[in-house]
Amino acid sequence: MKKHLVLALVALFAAAVLAPAAPAADKPPIKIGFIVPKTGNFAQFGIDMLNGFKLYLSEIDYTIAGRKIELIEEDEGATPANAVTKARKLIQHDKVHLMGGLLMAAAAYAVAPVVQEAEVPLVITVAASDDLTQRKASKYLARVSLTGGEHGHVAGDYAYRKLGWRKVAVVAMDYGWGHEVTGGFQRVFEELGGQVIQKIWTPVITTDFGPYVASLKPEADGILDVVTGAASIRLIGELRKAGVLDKKKVLAAGTATDETLLPALGDTALGVLTFLPWSQALDTPENKRFVQRIKQVTKKDYVGFSGAINYGAAMWIAEAIRQVGGDVENKEKFFKTLRATEIKSSPRGPIKVDKYGHIIQNIYIRRVDKVGSLYQNTVIDTYPAVSQFWKYNPEEYLKQPIYSRDNPPCKHC
């Protein structure tokens, strides 16, 4: 009897070991939760993010490594609390394997601890606040968008070395993006020998930039502009109206002349320089193909930046899923693979992330031109493989306080 029992157990064990694994196609779909603004002031950004992300998934028929992809969309809403509610729903009710998206930094900061607790990977595809992948970096978080500080570093270097500026006045929105771009710019620019001689902080709801433009110090060699969205149209309009753009160059954080704003900016923005990790006019086969495809989807001549970087994000995530053969249930293996995944070519250029989870990427210097009847951000220079820490030692960098309204202090104002 005992002998028969042993033989039965051996046979059962052998059957379990030798049984073929279930084909990938027989496995349930891989669920990706995607949180973006679908209502409110930033709804268009959210629509652009979704368009880019879904375009890539449609090109691969929503199938990776033999498994179908189920994309579950949620509205980020206007508050961090709303984003947290949607994240909990995706984790607890929908049982997603991965989450992506998020536009607002406050929402990303609020959602990060939730995914950390649940051990669900989160790929941020826009939210730009520096500390998400620096002092508050998380094992389960990666970001393939940008930070304010890294862009400021590039702009500071370009202003000093290429534009020959030595004194700069800054006009920036009075919130995190404005503070971090300005802080990164000032640090690099002044370490090279330049001086920031004026910082003008404008409320996010500013409608009249006339008084701010009138107060710009005339001795500045150039203007750093960190005003985004519809407000950028008003600021650049005032700079043109006051004659500033006829006398000095303006170097602006890239979304100030986002392709979606170019029709409204028109001739007013001609000659404005910007810095961003993508341009619709970027002359590569991958970007040309992407622009052609997204235009077919949106029926528009101008493609938003957030669509392009979300297309690249989808490429990057899909490649990681392929490399693990679709086995996203093995969380540790999947996330290690995700962090190690590299894309050699995407519409924006190569994609890989550092050990803190942030993308290492090309940042392009662009100039607003008019070609035929259309406007474009012509790429005139490239900073390849930019780190969020610029050329600083990461460990030493992280000992410094985050860039803020008063850090670095304005010694020459």
pLDDT tens-digit map of 368-380:
999 999 999 999 9
Of 112, 155, 154, 156, nearest in space to 134 by CA? 112
Confidence at residue 139, expressed as pLDDT on a 0 to 100 scale: 87
Report the predicted TM-score, pTM, of the whole model to 2 decimal places: 0.91
Q: Is the pLDDT of residue 7 over 60?
A: no
CB–CB of 201/227 below 8 Å? no
Confidence at residue 15, expressed as pLDDT on a 0 to 100 scale: 46
Other CB atoms within a 10 A radius of the CB of residue 323 amount to 16
Could you tell me the pLDDT band of residue 105, with boundaries at 50, 70 and 90?
A: confident
User: Taking all residues of the chain, what is their mean pLDDT, rounded to a whole number?
Assistant: 93
CB–CB of 132/143 below 8 Å? yes
**What letter would DSSP give residue 131?**
G
Q: What is the mean pLDDT of residues 315-321?
A: 97
Residue range 222-276, pLDDT digits in tens: 999 999 888 999 999 999 999 999 999 999 998 899 999 999 999 999 999 999 9
Contacts of 124 (CB under 8 A, 6+ apart): 100, 101, 102, 108, 132, 141, 142, 143, 144, 145
**What letter would DSSP give residue 22?**
P
Which long-range CB contacts under 8 A does 159-162 form with residues at least 24 apart? 159/185, 159/189, 159/194, 159/222, 159/224, 159/251, 160/188, 160/189, 160/192, 160/193, 160/194, 161/192, 162/365, 162/381
d(CA 155, CA 367): 13
Of 134, 130, 128, nearest in space to 398 by CA? 134
d(CA 202, CA 398): 28
Helices 285-298, 305-323: axis angle to 10 degrees equals 110
Strand partners, 100: 34, 123
Ranges of beta strands (E only) in 105-263 are 122-124, 141-143, 167-173, 195-202, 222-226, 249-253
Residue range 163-192, pLDDT digits in tens: 999 999 999 999 999 999 999 999 999 999
Which pairing describes strands 67-75 and 63-64: parallel, antiparallel, or unpaired? antiparallel
Contacts of 59 (CB under 8 A, 6+ apart): 293
Instruction: For residue 109, give both structure tokens.
Output: 């900061």
- The owner of tokens 């033989």 is 7
CB–CB of 353/317 below 8 Å? no
d(CA 382, CA 277): 9
Q: Burial letters for 331-361: b for 16+ Cβ neighbours within 10 Å, e otherwise?
A: eeebbebbbebebeebbbbbbbbbebbbbbb
